[in-house]
Structure 1
């Protein structure tokens, strides 16, 4: 048996999101309500230089304060996840890359439609950041891959996508 939606009420909309309250039948046949947040997908890029260092960006966010993460952001309408990744890498880190590897796509939460698309970027060229207003003050740092993995495991990378991206990239590089 599967979930079945009977009705949907949209209770909130914004420029990049909507919140719905769905009336559903659960797989066991019981009736219930499920809150669903609809948001665009994201792209996260793990840029790896020729010395084995990962480009990380440090910023201060409205909700979580200071965070460190690989570059990334929202997939805009009409953009592919890789195109969004290329744009975000250039904006946030001032980096362009000639070698791109898709590492997978994951759902981060069970009641949110957004998926995170993770990429490994290599053969890097450094340039100037092209920060947007919401990225003001973002700085680029270079971390050794082992240190980034350790930070992902010990909680210093507080955003789940950051930890996931680093760990998936490290695993991929081990098997390459």
Structure 2
């Protein structure tokens, strides 16, 4: 199942919040940043700033009661984080295919099945969707890390994985926590 398009991907909006202009102020290989000039219901205009990377996937890979976890240093956060395999959806790529690819690249595991759990917008500033998938029927293999990735892979008992992700000093890795909580709510953990 392919999730529906994001609401900002077309020109349909709320008739009480008219977008008069969309300005791209900065472009990188990974995202665009800019602002929309929006007319509020009272007639005043304001700039609403945004970042727009490609959509992303995060994979909860479960095998025999164990969850495949990744640990890596995150330079942006200046700390090591324990999380789940994740990455961007390439242009034109189906999110389920991206989930399979990211799992294989980062951990070496190949999934027999991937199931879509949820798609959500993780922040009010960022215009992208994070697609959560559960991967099962796993076959181990060798990772194929991208340039710049230094990832350690381990497995964690499914009934402990939320505590492991939360148990670090510093901020909790919300990128992993939200998908884990969604999966638990769906009875997948």
- TM-score when normalising by structure 1: 0.90
Bigger shift: 151-160 or 52-61?
151-160
* Equivalent residue, structure 2, for 1:44: 58
The question of 1:108 aligning with 2:122 is answered: yes
The question of 1:142 aligning with 2:155 is answered: yes
Which is helix-richer, 1 or 2?
Answer: 1
Q: Choose the corresponding residue for 1:127, options 128, 141, 144.
A: 141
State the alpha-carbon separation in 1 of the partners of residues 87 and 41 from structure 2. Answer: 34
* Equivalent residue, structure 2, for 1:57: 70
Q: Is the 8 A contact 1:152 1:166 kept in 2?
A: no
* Equivalent residue, structure 2, for 1:93: 107
Deviations 1:126-168 (A, max 9, x none): 01111112212x1111111221123455676732220011111
* Equivalent residue, structure 1, for 2:3: none
* Equivalent residue, structure 2, for 1:159: 173
Q: Structure 1 residues 124, 11: CA separation in 2 closer, same or farther (over 3 Å shift)?
A: same
* Equivalent residue, structure 1, for 2:96: 82
Helix, strand or coil: the match of 1:135? Answer: coil
State the alpha-carbon separation in 2 of the partners of residues 174 and 107 from structure 1. Answer: 21
Q: Is the 8 A contact 1:48 1:54 kept in 2?
A: yes
Bigger shift: 16-25 or 36-45?
16-25
Q: Is the 8 A contact 1:103 1:119 kept in 2?
A: yes
* Equivalent residue, structure 2, for 1:171: 185
State the alpha-carbon separation in 2 of the partners of residues 17 and 154 from structure 1. Answer: 31
Q: Unpaired runs of 5+ in structure 2?
A: 1-14
Q: Is the 8 A contact 2:166 2:172 kept in 1?
A: no
Moved over 3 A (4+): 151-157
State the alpha-carbon separation in 2 of the partners of residues 105 and 117 from structure 1. Answer: 4
Q: Structure 1 residues 57, 39: CA separation in 2 closer, same or farther (over 3 Å shift)?
A: same
* CA drift at 1:117: 0.2
State the alpha-carbon separation in 1 of the partners of residues 68 and 41 from structure 2. Answer: 44
